[in-house]
């Protein structure tokens, strides 16, 4: 399908370009007339390393990060592009250091650079632990993760590393030895946050052509959702458009043809500060959801396609958790270890999702009983892996969009997807 008119960030800014000037003084010397030469300063641009480990503020020293894909609003909202009142409102928002668009754009540029390296280097034979560690080390370095407990910048949620029929909410726990295989279909879901503004974007990799059509269906469906999204748009209309595109595709395996189905009980979602699921859902099938999108909101437009039944169930060991956003303060916890663990969670993650590996990094050990107690008391929510039927294949693509007063910005858009 045709894309909306858009402006992509210049290629020389998207991945390794930088602005930082390192002053390099030339050696002292003399001119032909015997007078001393003046020192001249040459400039040298800082470039990203391979693997990416250079913090973005060392590259973009002016604090201005690449703008995402800009899309004009359609139909009744087209006036917003030229409205002086809307432009003034946008300028006011962007002057607030806590809400500035530069926060989300910085996170998006981290995402683009880290995923570019991941897409190039993930290969069959790697363990899922190797895959997520490489990604997360990159995110921590590029976003210059704050380790003081102030939660200024860091990982937005555990890196999803979902294989085949597992569509979402799997990341390896300690000791997991799962190895990526040649015929696997791998979904990578990466989160980055700056001052609580979360970039949530995902892609799918396959290593031989059997499921190319599945990936094409889901990418097309996600782009359709991005295109249809906008201020005052009904989320039900977006879901219907996504489903129509998704289910126009088929996957042929041998002599059997499988229709691609939208996974009906997975959705996109609004994103609030420090809250990955902000309260609104964006369906990927036709529904009667009365919700609408509003000015200033952030959304993750994500779609999932499957060769199976198009519905997921919870199954397997839990790795993903998050403190409940509106949980009561000072809950009545019976276990002293649970009280201590809750303090660790609040200091290091707040209400951002975390996984067991992240607890391990804080120095916590033998915490499962305490963690399960927090879950049972409604203080922490667990998120088990989500599976379609065994033997099916699932794919995912996702972008974060910002409904600015004057335009729609696809902040996570890159040259890759």
DSSP 335: -
Cis peptide before 370 (omega within 30 of 0): no
Can 398 be counted among the known catalytic residues? yes
Among 69, 398, 399, 409, the one annotated catalytic: 398
90, 144, 200, 364: the catalytic one is 200
Q: Which of 111, 169, 269, 373 is catalytic?
A: 269
Give the residue among 416, 214, 228, 191 at the shortest CA–CA distance from 306: 214
Which residues are CB-neighbours of 172 under 8 A, at least 6 positions away?
127, 128, 129, 132, 161, 178, 319, 357
Is 364 a residue of the active site?
no
Whether 15 is a known active-site residue: answer: no
The residue from 69, 90, 109, 302 that is catalytic is: 302
Both tokens assigned to 319 = 């790795």
Residues 6+ apart with CB under 8 A from 293: 229, 230, 231, 232, 233, 235, 280, 299, 403
From the list 20, 341, 402, 12, the residue with the least C-alpha distance to 198 is: 402
| Catalytic position from the list 90, 109, 144, 189 | 189
Q: Give the number of residues written for the chain.
A: 417
Q: 164: alpha, beta or left, given left = phi > 0 and alpha = psi -120 to 50?
A: left
326 flagged as catalytic: no
302 is an active site residue: yes
Structure tokens at 85: 């009142």
Q: Is 269 a catalytic residue?
A: yes
Task: List all residues 6 or more positions away from 341 whose beta carbon is below 8 Å from its beta carbon.
Answer: 359, 364, 367, 370, 371, 374
Catalytic positions are 189, 200, 269, 277, 302, 398
């Amino acid at each position: 399908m045709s894309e909306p008119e858009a402006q992509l960030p210049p290629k020389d800014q998207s991945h390794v370009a930088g602005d930082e000037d390192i002053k390099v003084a030339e050696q002292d010397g003399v001119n032909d007339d015997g007078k001393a030469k003046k020192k001249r300063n040459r400039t040298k641009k800082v470039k990203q390393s391979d693997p990416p480990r250079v913090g973005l503020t060392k590259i973009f020293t002016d604090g201005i990060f690449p703008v995402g894909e800009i899309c004009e609003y359609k139909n009744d909202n087209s006036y917003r592009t030229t409205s002086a009142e809307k432009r003034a409102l946008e300028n006011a928002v962007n002057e607030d250091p806590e809400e500035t668009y530069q926060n989300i754009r910085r996170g998006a540029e981290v995402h683009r650079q880290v995923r570019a390296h991941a897409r190039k280097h993930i290969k069959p034979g790697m363990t899922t632990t190797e895959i997520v560690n490489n990604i997360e080390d990159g995110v921590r370095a590029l976003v210059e993760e704050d380790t003081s407990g102030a939660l200024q910048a860091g990982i937005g949620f555990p890196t999803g590393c979902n294989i085949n029929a597992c569509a979402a909410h799997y990341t390896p726990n300690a000791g997991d030895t799962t190895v990526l295989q040649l015929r696997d279909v791998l979904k990578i879901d990466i989160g980055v946050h700056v001052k609580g503004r979360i970039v949530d974007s995902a892609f799918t990799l396959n290593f031989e052509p059997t499921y190319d059509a599945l990936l094409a269906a889901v990418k097309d469906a996600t782009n359709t959702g991005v295109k249809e999204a906008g201020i005052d748009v009904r989320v039900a209309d977006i879901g219907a458009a996504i489903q129509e595109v998704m289910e126009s595709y088929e996957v042929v395996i041998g002599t059997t043809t499988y229709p691609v189905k939208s996974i009906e009980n997975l959705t996109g979602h609004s994103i609030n500060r420090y809250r990955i699921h902000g309260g609104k859902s964006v369906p990927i099938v036709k529904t009667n959801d009365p919700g609408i999108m509003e000015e200033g909101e952030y959304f993750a437009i994500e779609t999932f396609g499957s060769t199976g039944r198009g519905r997921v169930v919870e199954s397997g060991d839990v790795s993903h958790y998050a403190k409940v956003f509106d949980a009561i303060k000072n809950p009545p916890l019976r276990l002293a270890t649970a009280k201590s663990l809750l303090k660790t969670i609040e200091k290091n993650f707040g209400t951002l999702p975390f996984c067991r590996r992240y607890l391990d990094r804080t120095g916590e050990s033998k915490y499962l009983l305490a963690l399960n107690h927090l879950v049972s008391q409604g203080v922490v929510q667990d998120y088990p892996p989500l599976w379609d039927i065994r033997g099916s294949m699932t794919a995912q693509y996702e972008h974060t969009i910002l409904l600015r007063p004057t335009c729609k910005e696809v902040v996570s858009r890159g040259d890759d997807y």
